[in-house]
Amino acid sequence: DAKTTQPPSMDCAEGRAANLPCNHSTISGNEYVYWYRQIHSQGPQYIIHGLKNNETNEMASLIITEDRKSSTLILPHATLRDTAVYYCIVRPAYNGGNMLTFGGGTRLMVKP
């Protein structure tokens, strides 16, 4: 699976948009970009995933560059409850497996 690079930490003011970048320059054509987050003392929580088109759901938006070498997770109006470690993961499509390769993630701190 392709390797991802994320900044170790970021701050965001409450109510503002949080933009979390991820570099995945070695991604191949059949690999999806997944985002999970882990709030303290809980298991990881799925946020969103995409292949090449931008995606939006009730939690966030995912913007993938045209060359697919990087992506940005956007939390449009961050709240204190969004403070968590955010993981960007690249995973082959339809591999039928549950193996996700987690990196170090980005620790997002939302401040009042």
Partner 1 sequence: DAGVTQSPTHLIKTRGQQVTLRCSPISGHKSVSWYQQVLGQGPQFIFQYYEKEERGRGNFPDRFSARQFPNYSSELNVNALLLGDSALYLCASRGKGAGDEKLFFGSGTQLSVL
Positions touching partner 1 (CB under 8 A) are 32, 34, 41-46, 49, 85, 87, 96-105
Q: Which residue, 66 or 98, has its beta carbon nearer to partner 1?
A: 98
Side-chain half-sphere exposure of 75, counting CA atoms within 13 A = 25
Q: What is the DSSP letter of 5?
A: B
Q: How far is the CB of 54 from partner 1 (least distance, A)?
A: 18
Query: Which tokens in the block code for residue 89?
Result: 């993961």
Q: How far is the CB of 45 from partner 1 (least distance, A)?
A: 7
Q: Which residue, 94 or 112, has its beta carbon nearer to partner 1?
A: 94
CA gap 21, 102 in Å, rounded: 15
